[in-house]
Amino acid sequence: MTNFNTRYFMIATLFVAIVFLQVFVPWLGLLPLGAFIVGASVTIIQFTVAIAGIILGPKYGAVVGCWWGVLSFVNAWTHQGTIGSLMFQNPLTAIIPRVLVGLIVGYVFNRIFRNQSTAIRLTGLGISGILAALINTIGVVLLTWLGFNIMRTNFTGVPLHNILVWLIGIVSFNAIFEIIVGFVLVGLIGSVLLPIAERANIRG
């Protein structure tokens, strides 16, 4: 492995370690907004994956996203008893949307925004945060709906009919705040880390 590839591997490993901590230490992966909006909380792990894709490119972004998915799958089976754990016991729901976050965000940013002016790049970082929130939310909802329809689950609290409408209802409130937080968080963190990465000749 060349020094160049080793550098990418080490940075990707660092992102995976951050995701690992965010999955298993809840307050690191969840931003509670209850002090401002009752009942609101924002999952922020997708933004770590998005930043990995932005800095390292879509391939490594997908790898970091895949690790998030695998860890979510393991966590769902070891912490059973909630609707959330039931959703992510399906490996497709746990893994595919997370891989797509790193892959799509990494591709879109590096293809469209990376070589633009500072203002456009900053806007692109914010858009990448929004995109990460949407990809994860929409992917999880659609694959959960598909899984519940195939499994015909009768888990307490899960309706037998109109499951898609029910899923949209339970995620849409927090999804609004995830979009806002994604725009701000990825914009701020990306604007700091991206120039550092480029000075180290790390380009997606």
Q: How confident is the model at residue 35 (pLDDT cuts 50, 70, 90)?
A: very low
Query: Averaged over 74-87, what is the pLDDT?
Result: 80
Integer Cα distance of 88 and 159 in angstroms = 18
What SS3 class is residue 41?
Answer: strand
Contact by Cβ (8 Å): 54, 125: yes
Q: What is the CA radius of gyration of the chain?
A: 17
In tens, the pLDDT along 152-196 reads: 555 555 666 677 787 787 778 788 889 999 999 999 999 999 999
- pTM value > 0.85: yes
Whether residue 76 lies inside any domain: the answer is yes
Integer Cα distance of 151 and 141 in angstroms = 15
Give the DSSP letter of residue 158: -
Whether residue 204 lies inside any domain: the answer is no
Residues 6+ apart with CB under 8 A from 197: 11, 55, 203
Integer Cα distance of 11 and 151 in angstroms = 39
- The tokens for 115 are 């070589």
Give the DSSP letter of residue 189: H
If one counts the domains in the chain, the total is 1
Matching residue, tokens 């990306």: 190
What SS3 class is residue 31?
Answer: strand
Range of the domain at 107: 3-199
Amino acid at 171: V
CATH number of the domain that residue 27 is part of: 1.10.1760.20
Whether residue 149 lies inside any domain: the answer is yes
Whether residue 83 lies inside any domain: the answer is yes
